[in-house]
Amino acid sequence: MRCEQMRRILTCVILAGTFSAPVLAGDARLRAIQDDPQALRSAQAEGRKASFFCVNCHGGNGVSKLPEVPNLAGQNADYLLEQTRRFGRGQRKDEFMQGLIRVLKEEEKIQISLFYAGQNPRPGKPDSNKVARGKQIYNQFCLRCHGSTAHGNETIPRLASQHMEYLVLSVTRYRDKTGERQEAQMSSAVALLKNADIEAVAAYLHSLP
């Protein structure tokens, strides 16, 4: 099923359900669970259950089958949690994701973030010329924040193994300041890139484990 169809169907399901009021921050909670192996395992198991809604688009283990939908597998838990909150507050705009995220309780957002963070990413094998060119661009413009392995950290997203289409879409939006997301650092970091540069860097990132 295509993403647009899914969106329409699921939006109806959500509108028919109840909306829960957003609860404030649980970063300390996220950290406490990460520091306790047993609590982490049970939170990830709960997260897998709570993510049943997400599977159609993001895939059962966080590797999405739709190229414009981001992979969540192996992404940093803090980043995932922060993005779900931004959708919830309307700071990051995506009609469907904004509606969907409102039905999740704060604890479920934490569990889902921990679940996806613990899944295995799946790199691809794009055109090797593009990959080589993309590596140069990455080292020059991106490495200082996203890191030498492109795994990011608590505040910077992992980019390694991400889908090329999603990367191109996302970077182009930051460059052109289309308004879905607002991040001054990212917009200035990619301001000088041409479309072909963005495609090359996306190919390189998709190839990384």
- Residues lying near ligand HEC in the complex (CB under 6 A) are found at 3, 6-7, 10, 51, 53-54, 56-58, 69-70, 72, 80, 83-84, 94, 96-97, 100, 104, 112, 141-142, 144-146, 156-157, 159, 167, 170-171, 180-181, 183, 185-186, 189-190, 193, 201
What's the closest the beta carbon of residue 106 comes to ligand HEC, in angstroms?
13
The tokens 């479920």 sit on which residue?
108
Is 129 within 8 Å of 52 (Cβ atoms)? no
Q: Within a 13 Å sphere around the CA of 115, how many CA atoms are in the beta-carbon half?
A: 25
Widest CA span of the chain, in angstroms? 51
Nearer to ligand HEC, 38 or 110 (CB): 110
What's the closest the beta carbon of residue 199 comes to ligand HEC, in angstroms?
11
**Exposure b/e, 15-31, CB count within 10 A at least 16 = b:** eeeeeeeeeeebeeebe
Give the CA dihedral 105, 106, 110, 115, nearest 10 degrees.
Answer: 10
Give how far Cα 191 sits from Cα of 107, 176, 184, Å: 37, 8, 10
Nearer to ligand HEC, 37 or 137 (CB): 137
What's the closest the beta carbon of residue 114 comes to ligand HEC, in angstroms?
11
Nearer to ligand HEC, 44 or 84 (CB): 84
Q: Tell whether the torsion through CA atoms of 33, 38, 39 and 41 is positive or negative.
A: positive
What's the closest the beta carbon of residue 18 comes to ligand HEC, in angstroms?
15
Nearer to ligand HEC, 34 or 53 (CB): 53
Nearer to ligand HEC, 97 or 203 (CB): 97
What's the closest the beta carbon of residue 79 comes to ligand HEC, in angstroms?
7
